[in-house]
Amino acid sequence: MESIQVMYADTPLAYQPGESLLEAATRANVAIPNSCRSGICQSCLVKVTDGEIPAKSQDGLSEAQKAQGYALACQLKPDSPILVQPADHQDQLNATVIEHSLFNNGVLKLVLASDELKWIAGQFISIWKTDQITRPYSIASLPEDHLIELHIQKHEHGIVSHWLHDEVKPGDTLKIGSARGECCYGDNMSEKSLLLVGTGTGLAPLIGIIKDALQRGHQQPIKLHIGARDANRLYLVNELRALQSTYTNFEFLPILKEADDLSASGPFEQADELSSYIKESYSSFQDWCVFLCGAPDLVRKLQRICFLNGASLTDIHADPFISN
């Protein structure tokens, strides 16, 4: 019997038919993190970059993970040649800066073009300033837009955000990585209501997810809450209000700490704590799909609140934004 060519992390493995990728790698002393070795714990997640993926190796993964070629090494028994990489593997791609402008609140709108990048709304990419310095940014646009829209907040000591804000200009070529993350809409969510909560540029992935859901014909309610100190900190307000008047099942309700400012140009709520507001305004999160993007503390708090009040763990999608 002819042997099947199996590559993991650019290393050819002496693969024996019938065994798993994990077994072949372990025999070759190539480490793949693992725990249950039974397709349950998902510790041995890997990414197939070329070749056919046996369905069994994707059991239990999310729609977004399946679409991106993720598989479980302990269940992956290829019967044709296959190229596999560690789960966090990224290709380096080139992108050209198309637009570089500021939103009303000072957040940078950076629009890139790249023929090579494939993504799902809600995912993020890395941008490399140098070979050592890289930061992740979420994508606000849909693949159908053919352009990659990123929202970048300038952080006081942020080397990359300062560089992107002050030095990068239209026409420049940037190095970006493959799209990652699974804070994404899936067709299996069509019967559920969607709750999206975020702060700051957490709006970027959330707006991508909302547009994706609406475009795919999501009929159930979609609620977006963005928390901010005051109305001047919000951005894309008019675009969100316009979206709301087109789609009656979509509602945008900002939650402001200081509500004396009426420039939010539409309904908003006043609350000191975004997490308490969410907890008190929703009696149960059963049959809700929840998306949380923004400050890590808030994301963790809301994750717990939603879960303890009825949301299933598999229906909570969180993307904590760690600012450096």
Partner 1 sequence: MASLYEKLGGAAAVDAAVDIFYRKVLADDRISEYFDGVDMTAQAAKQKSFLTMVFGGPNEYTGKDMRAAHAGMKGLNDTHVDAVIENLGATLAELGVGEADIAEVAAIANSVRDDVLNR
Residue 138: is it exposed, middle or buried by C-beta count within 10 angstroms (0-12/13-18/19+)?
A: buried
- Per CB under 8 A, the list member of 11, 38, 92, 265 interacting with partner 1 is 38
Rounded to whole angstroms, how far apart are CA atoms 135 and 267? 35
Binding residues for partner 1, rule CB under 8 A, total 21
- What one-letter code names the amino acid at 206? L
Binding residue for partner 1 (CB under 8 A) from 5, 43, 126, 323? 43
Around 6, how many Cα atoms within 13 Å sit in the side-chain half-sphere? 26
Nearer to partner 1, 262 or 313 (CB): 313
* Residue 42 binds to partner 1 (criterion: CB under 8 A): yes
State how far the Cα of 67 lies from the Cα of 46, in Å rounded to an integer: 13
The backbone torsions φ and ψ at residue 302, rounded to the nearest 5 degrees and listed phi first, read -70, -35
Q: Which is nearer to partner 1, 205 or 254 (CB)?
A: 205
Which CB atom, from 37 or from 155, has the smaller least distance to partner 1? 37
Q: Per-residue b/e over 183-205, b at no fewer than 16 CB within 10 Å?
A: bbbbeebeebbbbbbbbbbbbbb
Which residues are registered as beta bridge partners of 173?
Answer: 96
> In whole angstroms, what is the distance from residue 110 CA to residue 86 CA?
29
Site string for partner 1, 16-35 (x = CB under 8 A): -------------------x
* Choice between 38 and 276, CB closer to partner 1: 38
- Whose tokens are 């400050």? That residue is 295
Which of 59, 88, 172, 280 contacts partner 1 by CB under 8 A? 59
Residue (44 or 111) nearer to partner 1, CB = 44
At closest approach, how far in Å is the CB of 79 from partner 1? 21
Question: Which of 17, 33, 60, 106 is close enough to bind partner 1 by CB under 8 A?
Answer: 60
Of 31, 40, 159, 242, the one binding partner 1 (CB under 8 A) is: 40
Among 206, 106, 203, 228, smallest CA distance to 155 is for 106
Query: Nearer to partner 1 by C-beta: 43 or 220?
Result: 43
Question: Does the footprint of partner 1 cover residue 62 (CB under 8 A)?
Answer: no
Residues 295-314, one symbol each (x = binds partner 1 by CB under 8 A, - = not), give: -----x--xx--xx---xxx
What is the 3 state secondary structure string of 55-73? HHHHCCCCHHHHHCCEEEC
Q: Give the interface with partner 1 as residue ranges (CB under 8 A).
A: 35-43, 59-60, 300, 303-304, 307-308, 312-314, 316, 318
